Amino acid sequence: MQLTLSGISQRVGAQTWLYDMSLAPTPGAVTVLLGATQAGKTTLMRLMAGLDVPSSGSVLVDGHDVTGTPVRERNVAMVYQQFINYPSMTVYDNIASPLKLGGRPKAEIDRRVRELAAKLHIEVFLDRLPAELSGGQQQRVALARALAKNAPLMLLDEPLVNLDYKLREELREELCALFAAGDATVIYATTEPSEALLLGGWTAVMDAGELLQYGPTAEVFHRPVSLRVAKAFSDPPMNLLAAEVAEGGARLNHGELIAVDLPREATRALTLGIRASALRVQPRPGDVALPGRVELAEISGSDTFVHVHTAVGELVAQLTGVHEFDLGAALTLHVSPTQVYAFDATGALLVAPQRRT
Amino acid sequence: MARIDLDLAHSYKPNPAQDSDYALLPLKMTFEDGGAYALLGPSGCGKTTMLNIMSGLLVPSQGTVRFDGQDMTRATPQQRNIAQVFQFPVIYDTMTVAQNLAFPLKNRKVPEATIRQRVGQIAEMLEMSHQLDQRAAGLSADQKQKISLGRGLVRPDVSAVLFDEPLTVIDPHLKWQLRRKLKQIHHELKLTLIYVTHDQVEALTFADQVVVMTRGKVVQMGTPDALFERPAHTFVGHFIGSPGMNLLEAQAGGGALHIGALSVPAPRALPEGALRLGIRPEYLALTEPGRDGALPGSVRQVQDIGTYFLVTLDVAGQTLKARLSPEAERPAVGAAVGLQVLGSHTCFYKNEELVA
């Protein structure tokens, strides 16, 4: 199904919630809407669903204008942050409800409910009420019901945000497999860059009501068109350093020269960006050294994020595995100039690190 | 401050018969004076039950709680001299920040000069010095929770400070700052701090010693490094890290180790019979297929996670994950590969417990 948003905007009273934007999510694939809270993700999804009508522009489904068509006349499945189920119905009836509305034969409904319940590992709960299940199980029921609808457009608004991280990890992986197996166009809103990367597919980066960039997820991550995209699509935040164009590269305000290959037309004032994962504790030939002191080592379980206070500013380095550092200990971070991003004075991307292909 | 010894079990049922009747299975453990501890586990694992037993909100159905050797099993939270910080701010809206921070000291009739000095010190640490005269009512949820943290930490003579998911209401961008503050404060004040959370980042960042719990059982108490490198239980391997540790079915016997089609000399002394081999995705290396000692597998999926590649592999009917650096050779989907599963980071488990 080809969904097309053409020149849409959304104003509520004197406020603009969505600025003029056009977006045609890739049919049959997952498109991630990535942005902080208040970026406009939910507002955009409500327009896609037909829950709201845009202030301007049009919404097209396979070329047909559906801008004013209400949600119940569209074929859309939705899953929300909150676990929304029919509280008085059993899990079985919850999953079966869209199929019953569709007037399917009983045997087919039964087969489909059991198939979906098995896929989402809730087959043993079919006779229970949603309130008797854990949060993770309740959200599985809501997901199964959305999938039962077999709608060509599926909208998921931060569906895993209220679950423990291990459950989130498990369910995200299952969802990816389900999306890949189906042919629905899936729109998935999240505030987490890492979740966008794990979902893969395509990503639309949003910030303060604006659509900043749309493209294949890894491509957007590796080549953000602007500083704003780079900021929105990095966790921990990309390290940003003020610099000036100099002979042979860019010079940091503290004097270090970083040999980035800048285009001729580059503005004098620059911002250099270094992803946390590009900073290393062990130097390699050609690296720039940034000495400092450890502020804190945050340990995620698979990575350690070391916050280091240096002369050029606060830096965060991402190290694989668990590493313990004493607060205040001296630590020098190293970066290869080939791993540095450069943005011009307007925030437009000038240089992105070369990637191995 | 005090050293806390637990030797107890708790059941909410009158006559517990099986393991599942216990909220906390029989355990014996010590929290050293001045240590920073985290109780980590999924919801329902028993961590809050343990915290409530330590604070005196709950009397264990069997066994004892000792503070510096003294039996405190039935003592009230006041008698135990415990400070607590909860998920949501517990403060007086009508008081100023300074009055809120001073309240636990005033209650204990601490001299005015000492109060002023201590409130100043805590406010400084939490970067609230400029807000001391503001009314709490006008502050954001983050700021209010900072006051709660300050109130928990303000008394120098407490046996321990207990935190129950204290950063839940804090904005993600502020979380790391507060984690840093708590760590610094522990460094400077040397209070015994016990922190309950389901979030591994919070636990591993905050604590020197992390107590991992599942289904009412303490499965490991160790440093973050130990939980990563040598998980004592398969649950710890799975729970710590994203993705968690790979666990492969294996058989040991006659000095050999059999994993699927692969048989190699046992790399260490291993107990005979069925085992599980544990290797973290960070340590699973890919080589060409057919290499000596490498396990044959095939590539199911390769994901670009931005800072690394996550490779999903099928090996003898089991799924493994490998994390490759962006500089490593990227395998093609469907390709046959060899997997190096044996190395210094490999762990062996029997009945879920680490054996080698």
CATH at A204 = 3.40.50.300
Residue A227 contacts by C-beta under 8 Å, 6 or more apart in sequence? A240, A271, A273, A343, A347, A348, A349
Q: Which of B176, B304, B307 has the CB atom closest to A298's CB atom?
A: B176
Secondary element (H or E) of residue A315: strand A313-320
* Burial (CB count <10 Å: 0-12, 13-18, 19+), residue A342: buried
Residue B106 — pLDDT band, cuts 50, 70, 90? very high
* Whole-number pLDDT of residue A357: 58
Residues from chain A contacting residue B188 (CB–CB below 8 Å) = none
Instruction: For residue B304, give the chain A residue with the closest CA.
Output: A218
* Whole-number pLDDT of residue A336: 95
| Res B173 pLDDT > 80 | no
Residue A84 is assigned to a structural domain of this protein: yes
Per the structure, the count of domains in chain A is 2
Residue A208, token pair as written in the block? 């303060």
**Interchain proximity A322–B180, CB inside 8 Å:** no
Same domain, A104 and A128: yes
* Whole-number pLDDT of residue A122: 92
**Interchain proximity A324–B204, CB inside 8 Å:** no
Residue A246 is assigned to a structural domain of this protein: yes
CA-to-CA distance for A282 and A325, rounded, in angstroms? 15
Report whether A279 contacts A291 (CB < 8 A): no
| Boundary of a domain, candidates A184, A204, A232 | A232
Averaged pLDDT for residues B43-67: 94
pLDDT in tens, chain A (357 residues): 999 999 999 999 999 999 999 999 999 999 999 998 889 999 999 999 999 999 999 999 999 999 999 988 999 999 998 889 999 999 999 999 999 988 889 999 999 999 999 988 899 999 999 999 888 889 999 999 999 999 999 999 999 988 888 888 989 999 999 999 999 999 999 999 999 999 999 999 999 999 999 999 999 999 999 999 999 999 888 999 999 999 999 999 878 899 999 998 888 999 999 999 999 999 999 999 999 999 989 999 999 999 999 999 999 999 999 998 988 999 999 999 999 999 999 999 999 998 765
Probe site for chain A from B199, B280, B304, B327 (most A CB atoms < 10 A): B304
**Interchain proximity B223–A324, CB inside 8 Å:** yes
Residue A356 is assigned to a structural domain of this protein: no
Rounded to 5°, the CA angle B341-B343-B348 comes to 70
Same domain, A102 and A223: yes
CA-to-CA distance for A117 and A100, rounded, in angstroms? 16
* Whole-number pLDDT of residue A188: 98
* Whole-number pLDDT of residue A22: 98
Residue B44 — pLDDT band, cuts 50, 70, 90? confident
The four Cα atoms A56, A59, A64, A70 give a dihedral, to 10 degrees, of -100
Instruction: For residue A195, give the chain B residue with the closest CA.
Output: B305
* Whole-number pLDDT of residue B253: 93
* Whole-number pLDDT of residue B261: 81
Same domain, A127 and A252: no
Report whether B250 contacts B276 (CB < 8 A): yes
Same domain, A222 and A278: no
| Boundary of a domain, candidates A182, A215, A232 | A232
Residue B332 — pLDDT band, cuts 50, 70, 90? very high
Q: Which domain holds residue A114?
A: 3-232
Same domain, A247 and A192: no
| Res B181 pLDDT > 80 | yes
Same domain, A150 and A273: no
**Interchain proximity B303–A324, CB inside 8 Å:** no
* Whole-number pLDDT of residue B171: 74
Taking all residues of chain B, what is their mean pLDDT, rounded to a whole number? 93
Chain B closest-CA separation from residue A354 CA (Å):
11
Q: What is the DSSP letter of B230?
A: S
Same domain, A179 and A313: no
Residue A357 is assigned to a structural domain of this protein: no
CATH of the domain at A344: 2.40.50.140
Residue A212 is assigned to a structural domain of this protein: yes
Interface list for chain A against chain B, based on CB atoms closer than 8 Å: 134, 164-167, 169, 193-194, 197-198, 200, 217-218, 221-222, 275-277, 295-302, 307, 318, 320-324, 327, 355-356
Coil vs helix vs strand at A104: coil
Same domain, A249 and A210: no
Give the start-to-end residue ranges of the domains of chain B. Answer: 4-235, 244-354
Instruction: Kindly write down the DSSP assignment for every residue of A38-52, as one continuous string.
Output: TSSHHHHHHHHHTSS
Residue A181 is assigned to a structural domain of this protein: yes
**Interchain proximity A197–B281, CB inside 8 Å:** no
| Boundary of a domain, candidates A183, A211, A232 | A232
Secondary element (H or E) of residue B164: strand B160-164
Chain A closest-CA separation from residue B339 CA (Å):
20
**Interchain proximity A197–B303, CB inside 8 Å:** yes
Same domain, A13 and A46: yes
Peptide bond before residue A236 is cis, with ω within 30 degrees of 0: yes
The fold for domain B4-235 equals Rossmann fold (3.40.50)
Probe site for chain B from A37, A137, A166, A356 (most B CB atoms < 10 A): A166
Same domain, A193 and A307: no
Interhelix angle B172-189/B141-153, nearest 10 degrees: 10
The ipTM value here is 0.90
Same domain, A184 and A320: no
Same domain, A16 and A61: yes
Residues from chain A contacting residue B303 (CB–CB below 8 Å) = 197-198, 200
Averaged pLDDT for residues B149-157: 93
Report whether B324 contacts B309 (CB < 8 A): yes
Instruction: Place domain B244-354 in its CATH homologous superfamily.
Output: Nucleic acid-binding proteins (2.40.50.140)
Residues from chain A contacting residue B228 (CB–CB below 8 Å) = 301, 321-322
Report whether A67 contacts A58 (CB < 8 A): yes
| Beta partners for residue A316, in sequence order | A307
